[in-house]
Amino acid sequence: MFKSKKNGKITKYKRYSFFNIGTLLFSIVFIYLIICIFMYLTESHITAYEVTRGSITGNYRFHAFSLRDETVVNATQSGTVRYYMREGAKASAGSVVCSVDESGTTAPVSYSTFSMSSEEAKHIQNLLSSFTINFSSNAFQRTYDIKSNVQTALAEMLQGLDEAPSYVRNQCTAPQAGFILYNTDGYESMTETQLTSEIFDQSSYHATSLRQNATVTAGNPVFKEVTSEGWALYFPLNEKLHTELVSATKLQFRFLKDNVTFTAPFSIIQNGSEYFGKISMSNSLVRYASDRYLEIELIMNKKTGLKIPESALVQRNFYAIPEEYVIKNAGTDSEVTLKVTYAESGETAYVTANVYKYDSEAKAYLVDRQLFSPGDEILLDNSAKHMQLQEDDEETLYGVYNINKGYAVFREVTIIDENEEYCIVESNNIYGLAAYDYIVLRADEVTEDQIVY
């Protein structure tokens, strides 16, 4: 209470209660929001997927096994090895690849009687001039090539000198033209008739580097040579892929190592009960000579259509009703009317049913099985003819749940191609999907007619 200074009267102010209609309404709205937020956070959320046109390409990937014509060259003496060629280099027949110093030393040697002939000097000059003219910082590997070429040329010149050390005299040369490699894995003499599925298990694969140790024992490998441009890639075939490729004579594929695409002759070989694909190559060995296993991707001529994820697929059973028992509804192909006598009640009624597919071969409409029960009779209108529904009248369809209208509606799909993640289905089906439809990404999250938020 307050006292007025003017007239001395005491005035009481009206106190308002905290609990009024405004507070009550605000509290109700607030509680409703809390409940909605809680339900949103605790319920499983349904993810939509927009259907698009597309195709499945390159869906087969393998770690292909390569076989080549390989020759292993063994050392004739024991000692320290000096290599003159880089791995993968192309050597001509008789070229010096390496040498063995029986003394075990790698110290440089001085020569008092060494001199080059004009022809030898011109050869060295040509090598250096060619390197200088063609040098590019983008191809620095050529620096190692010129080093190997000069070392080889000098070793050949020094070979005839009396004072030349043993490593110059004990030279290992290429038996024929080919690519030089410095590893062995035990598959050098293998043929395609020895292929088994276990070979494609890389966990047990082991290659031995010949340059890892500086010494070699007489009779042991010192390098190997791939002597032919012809080589082959092999990969295992399952039943599905064997059926798909059985008539193929050429195959397009991609090396994932450098993303280079080739088209090459293809054939299928059989070893016992196992089938293997064989890609025959006649070039480009220099790119892949050092790899026993190469990851490849087959580029198949795939069919195009509507692309949907495998997780969206669902199977449902439907009753197949012969066309003669169906009363077609005017203005729509998605609904028909059926005259039904229910077995349980004995009542007869006309029922409108959604059509999920029309089977042109059987001349039958597939309708929802949940509308009827086994034993119900479908009557031919204006006739005594009838059919009793049995389990034999059921058919299974693959489909997805369409959610364009805010609730889940089953739509039949016809799969024409698929892999582990996606499938391609036919378009232009009045009972199926169309491009840019929205479907449920995971079909196991919803049921028919469920409202989708």
- 198 — pLDDT class (breaks 50, 70, 90): very high
83-96 pLDDT tens trace: 877 778 888 898 88
Q: Looking at residues 124-151, what average pLDDT do you find?
A: 70
| Mean pLDDT computed over 20-47 | 81
pLDDT at residue number 427: 85
Q: Which residues lie across from 377 on neighbouring strands? A: 341, 388
- pLDDT tens-digit readout, 257-314: 888 999 999 999 999 999 999 999 998 888 898 899 999 999 876 678 999 999 999 9
pLDDT over 90 (residue 437): yes
| Predicted model pTM | 0.55
DSSP class per residue in 175-200: SSSEEEE-EE-S-TT--GGG--GGGG
Q: What is the 3-state secondary structure (H, E, C) of 59-98?
A: CEEEEEEEEEEEEEEECCCCEEEEECCCCCCEECCCCEEE
| Per-chain mean pLDDT for the chain | 84
Which pLDDT band, with edges at 50, 70 and 90, does 1 fall under? very low
Band (18; pLDDT cuts 50, 70, 90): low
Q: What is the pLDDT of residue 299?
A: 84
Q: What backbone torsions phi and psi does residue 139 show, to the nearest 5 degrees?
A: -130, 60
pLDDT over 90 (residue 71): yes
Q: At which residue do the structure tokens 């349980």 appear?
A: 344
Q: Would you say residue 233 has pLDDT above 70? A: yes
Torsion of CA 139, 141, 147, 148, to 10 degrees: -130
Q: Tally the residues of the chain.
A: 453
Please give the average per-residue pLDDT across 127-149, as a whole number. 69
- Binning pLDDT at 50, 70 and 90, where does residue 403 land? very high
Mean pLDDT value of segment 3-10:
58
